[in-house]
A and B are shown apart, each in its own frame.
Chain A
Amino acid sequence: MRGTATRNAILWGVVGILLIVVVWELYKTFAPDDGIVLFAVEGERRSGIRVSPRASDRAMPHLFDIVQALFQPVSGQGTPILINLVALGVLRTLGYAAVGWIIALIVALVLALVMQRWRLAEWGVLPWVVVSQTVPLIAFAPILATIGFQLNEQGIAWPQWLTVSVIASYLAFFPMTVGALRGLTSVDRTQLELMHSYAAGYWATLIKLRLPAAVPHLLPALRLGATTAIIGAIVAEVSIGVGGGIGGLLIGTAGQGTSDPAKPWGPVLGAVALGFIAVGIVALISLLLSRFRRQEATA
């Protein structure tokens, strides 16, 4: 049973990728170069409303060209092959995001534990956690970069990538905090009273009951946190100008897009791969914790 389910999942994954390839090439073949534009006025530039993307070679290169560009030097003879740079960028950004994800996990667990223990803290902290997510990333990324710079000037080592990780954690801690709080408060009254009757204190109840019971709520939050950490890391790289990661590559190759339109798609594919890797890592974690995902059948 388990085996066929896995085979089916892989099969559907392959079918999904093939479907994207087919749709991409069909659209490119049959759609007008300028995309489908409604209410366009004859002879007037930029008039009308474009309802589908451009299909010109500049906007939408053939997939074959995109793959080919991956295996060519980035800018002329003697420069590194694009796919090597993309692979390196994926690893770098994955590292930034991973550090951010771990910071976010620690912050989320601490906040959730405090809010679970003291209801007053929940009323006081949770609104701020929600409001924090309305502050746009690009607004405070430069501020954080400046703070990091000043720390360096005062002799406190603060590498630039750490700023990227902090920004990534800022995005990721929100879903993780909400998930952790829901998990910690998800225990049955019966189970709590049983722990009380065993004269178990706060810490024993936390370790034997609350934390294990939180796992089913925490796992989706970890996955959501992983993907938002990657988005945060990429945006942070771009907005504070850290090179070498996938965000830096996206900006770098976009500049060459006019001469070689297939090239910027390399880092885009890299970003997609990055998402897959992150979700894969969380899937491994949830496999390790599968015992805690068992649910009690209702009596």
Chain B
Amino acid sequence: MTPTVPPATELATAAVAVSGATKVFSTRAGDVHALSAVDLTVAAGEFVSLIGPSGCGKSTLLRLIADLDTPTAGSLAVFGKPARQARLDQDYGIAFQQAGLLPWRTVTANITLPLELHGMSAPDRQQRAAELIAMVGLDEFAGAFPDQLSGGMQQRVAIARSLAAGPRLLLMDEPFGALDEMTRERMQTELTRIAAETGAAVVFVTHSIPEAVYLSDRVVVMSARPGRITEIVDIPFKGVRDEALRESPAFFERVTAVREALHGAPIDRANER
């Protein structure tokens, strides 16, 4: 794992720089263009959501950044390195819709797993896990097993685990998709706090427009067949979000903007008809 010298471009400072990324899956029914020449730059510390209908390639894009798949064409850089090198260097943490916790490990042992694999000493691992458990508010459950936790708690553990190696980039693929609405909103607020505390950039895949607007600095709207970016909506809210934001007119105005971008046309509001 020799560190590569970052290329001398302004993209070197970006958390993620995608240019012309194309992904074609060959199936029996023919080629499927999951992504077609996508360009995207995510600045360090920036929160970017990817939203769009099924098949728009938002998860594929995330998987390319994570080096879980390789692009058919185009290039990707994560902190100025090839995606593969960034993965090997543990430059990102990742969380999926399923928590994917190991059922035979306690909360602490699940969080320390990535650290264990990278040879961190046991006392250091324990200390790091304790910090992260405190950050996600699970102090009483440090010794519990995953089957003793609710879905929301399991997802908190998954987030703590994704932060274990102290990454400056978090990749999240619908991490709250399986949670009930109340838990989901609470987790969203906590995520904005955690992202602000750690200063990590976040790439967040979601189906939910309010979720994308609430969390993000920018919402990337994508469309399907072929998967591409149709519009990028700027969200002006700064820093940690609170519950009052969800009821504010500015919030609804941005939700409408994203919805219009998704549908590709202005939408009549019921009260303005």
Partner of B179, one of A194, A200, A299: A299
Contact indicator A199/B88 (Cβ below 8 Å): yes
For residue A140, CB closer than 8 A to chain B, the reply is no
Which chain A residues lie closer than 8 Å to B146 at the CB level? Answer: 294, 296-297
Contact indicator A294/B151 (Cβ below 8 Å): no
Partner of B68, one of A193, A200, A296, A297: A193
Contact indicator B154/A197 (Cβ below 8 Å): no
Which chain B residues lie closer than 8 Å to A299 at the CB level? Answer: 98-99, 151, 154-155, 178-179
Partner of B103, one of A190, A199, A294: A294
Contact indicator B66/A197 (Cβ below 8 Å): yes
Partner of A190, one of B100, B116, B145, B149: B100
How many residues of A sit at the interface, in one of the four size bands? Answer: 20 to 34
Partner of A294, one of B66, B88, B117, B145: B145
Contact indicator A198/B99 (Cβ below 8 Å): no
Per-residue 0/1 for A280-292: is the Cβ within 8 Å of any B Cβ (1 yes, 0 no)?
0000000000011
For the residues of A in contact with B, the DSSP-based class is helix
For residue A243, CB closer than 8 A to chain B, the reply is no
Per-residue 0/1 for A209-244: is the Cβ within 8 Å of any B Cβ (1 yes, 0 no)?
100110100000000000000000000000000000
- Number of A-B contacts defined by CB within 8 Å: 71
Q: A297-B146, A299-B155 are in contact. Are A194 and B94 (CB under 8 A)?
A: yes
Partner of B100, one of A191, A292, A297: A191
For residue A154, CB closer than 8 A to chain B, the reply is no
Per-residue 0/1 for A173-201: is the Cβ within 8 Å of any B Cβ (1 yes, 0 no)?
00000000000000010110110111110
A256 shortest CB reach to chain B, Å: 53
CA distance A212 to B105 in the complex (A): 10
CB-nearest residue of chain A to B96 = A190
Top 8 closest A-B pairs, CB basis?
A299-B151, A190-B100, A296-B103, A294-B103, A297-B147, A292-B104, A198-B114, A190-B98
Residues in A lying within 8 Å of B, measured CB to CB = 188, 190-191, 193-194, 196-200, 204, 208-209, 212-213, 215, 291-292, 294-299
Residues in B lying within 8 Å of A, measured CB to CB = 66-68, 87-88, 90, 92, 94, 96, 98-104, 113-114, 116-118, 145-147, 149, 151, 154-155, 178-179
